[in-house]
Amino acid sequence: GQSLEQPSEVTAVEGAIVQINCTYQTSGFYGLSWYQQHDGGAPTFLSYNALDGLEETGRFSSFLSRSDSYGYLLLQELQMKDSASYFCAVSGSNYQLIWGAGTKLIIKP
């Protein structure tokens, strides 16, 4: 079967750095995606890693280790607007994304 695991909740302080981890078990792995979803809103795409290493997009970075079936999303200089749920998702060989249950990021002033 296919499954993804990520923490259900993470708390951090405004201005700090936070890392959200994701481990996966899947067949036909092509890459790992990250999405952000604010309460009541729709998911929005953040990043995609197909190869090992770190991808940086502004304050957000995403990392992938294919040999460890592991990735993480790193958020720097946290702002209150970053309070949201973050989902990792795996793309395989059949046009589909398999989604994790999401990590709720709580930011305290």
Partner 1 sequence: NAGVTQTPKFRVLKTGQSMTLLCAQDMNHEYMYWYRQDPGMGLRLIHYSVGEGTTAKGEVPDGYNVSRLKKQNFLLGLESAAPSQTSVYFCASSFPGTENEQFFGPGTRLTVL
Contact range with partner 1 by CB under 8 A, out of 19-27, 45-53, 59-67, 68-76? 45-53
Q: Using alpha carbons, list the distances in angstroms from residue 2 to 33, 39, 98.
A: 15, 27, 8
Of residues 23, 48, 74, 83, which one binds partner 1 by CB under 8 A?
48
Q: Which two tokens stand for residue 71?
A: 């990735």
89 in contact with partner 1 (CB under 8 A): yes
- Is position 7 an interface residue for partner 1 (rule: CB under 8 A)? no
Query: Which lies closer to partner 1 via its Cβ, residue 8 or residue 25?
Result: 8
Which position has the token pair 């790193």?
74
Token pair 């989604």: residue? 99
Q: Which two tokens stand for residue 80?
A: 């209150």
Q: With binding defined as CB under 8 A, does residue 31 bind partner 1?
A: yes
Neighbours of 99 (CB within 10 A): 15
Buried/exposed 33-43: b ≥16 CB within 10 Å, e otherwise:
bbbbeeeeeeb
Among 41, 54, 106, 108, interactor with partner 1 by CB under 8 A: 41
| Beta carbon nearer to partner 1, 42 or 80 | 42
Footprint on this chain of partner 1 (rule: CB under 8 A): 4, 8, 30-31, 33, 41-45, 48, 50, 87, 89, 91, 95-102
